[in-house]
A and B are shown apart, each in its own frame.
Chain A
Amino acid sequence: MNPLTGYLLVAALLFAIGLAGALTRRNAILVLIGIELMLNAANLNLIAFWRYGPHPEALTGMMFAIFSIAVAAAEAAVGLGLVISIHRHAHTTDLDAMNRMKG
């Protein structure tokens, strides 16, 4: 098995674990944790392809991963701000309890 396959499988596994977490947990923050894991798995994929693909000196994969890290940080900030704001309104972060459109 060549190294690239190993890294891609690890990234796929992390993505699946993040997806499972985002789909099965009740707390909104744990869903966000799952999403962060998925983003990290995608970053790992990008860097692995940068390293083992053609033209690593063009830095495309690394740049993509760096921008992805920045955007993920921004998304985490806004998402957690939203969770805090919802908690202030509904006094719970349980996603299953927020099943009405009316507040």
Chain B
Amino acid sequence: MNFAFYLISGLAVAGALAAVLLKNTVHCALALTVAFAGIAMLFLQLGAQFAGFAQILVYIGAVAILVVFAILLTRGSETPRDGVYSKFPLTGLAIAAAVFAVLGWAVLNSASALPGAETTSAAPTVTVMDIGNALMSRYVLPLEIVALLLTAALIGAVIVAMHEKEEAN
């Protein structure tokens, strides 16, 4: 567990905390971007280069901008009248804490069944050629389904968010 891991995880967790705690919606979106960058760096630490760069390209380059545009188009940057938290915030926090407790207990209890630090192998060298081969041979069905899904999502999002013509006049 080297120092870089702690630093990057600290960055990702700090970004996530800021994203759910800040009052200003646009600040939340920018903190989310920091969290995405932290997670991308964790991917790079784990040796998943393609996944890390795809994370930056898709999440920071597209999803974050989408969130920001949605905030601007729905006037989210004005402070709301009734405060930023819903009616029962403590219940939500309790549920989240319980989920974290269960997950943490499961991870720590099964630590003995996992490979120890001395037996972990070196990072597998994965080239983009391997990923391409896998996508075309073993994962070709998920690839085609994701293509269909993305087309459907594209058309659906455009139709859902489109101005209706009769409201124009």
The interface of chain A, by Cβ under 8 A from chain B, is 1-10, 12-21, 23-27, 29-30, 32-34, 36-37, 40, 43-44, 47-48, 50-52, 56-57, 59, 62-63, 65-67, 69-78, 80-85, 87, 93-96
Contacts and interface: CB of A to CB of B under 8 A. Distances in A.
Nearest to A63: B139
A65 B49 CA distance: 12
A8 B115 CA distance: 14
A42 B100 CA distance: 13
A40 to B, nearest CB: 5
Do most interface residues of chain B lie in helix, strand or loop, or is the interface mixed?
helix
Interface residues of B, number: 84
Interface of B: 1, 5, 9, 12-13, 16-17, 19-20, 25, 28-29, 32, 35-36, 39, 42-43, 46-48, 50-51, 54-55, 58-59, 62-63, 66-67, 69-71, 73-76, 80, 82-87, 89, 91-93, 95-97, 99-100, 103-104, 107-108, 111, 114-117, 120-121, 123-124, 126, 130-131, 134-135, 139, 142, 146, 149-150, 153-154, 156-158, 160-161
B99 A19 contact: yes
Contacts of A16: 96-97, 99-100, 103
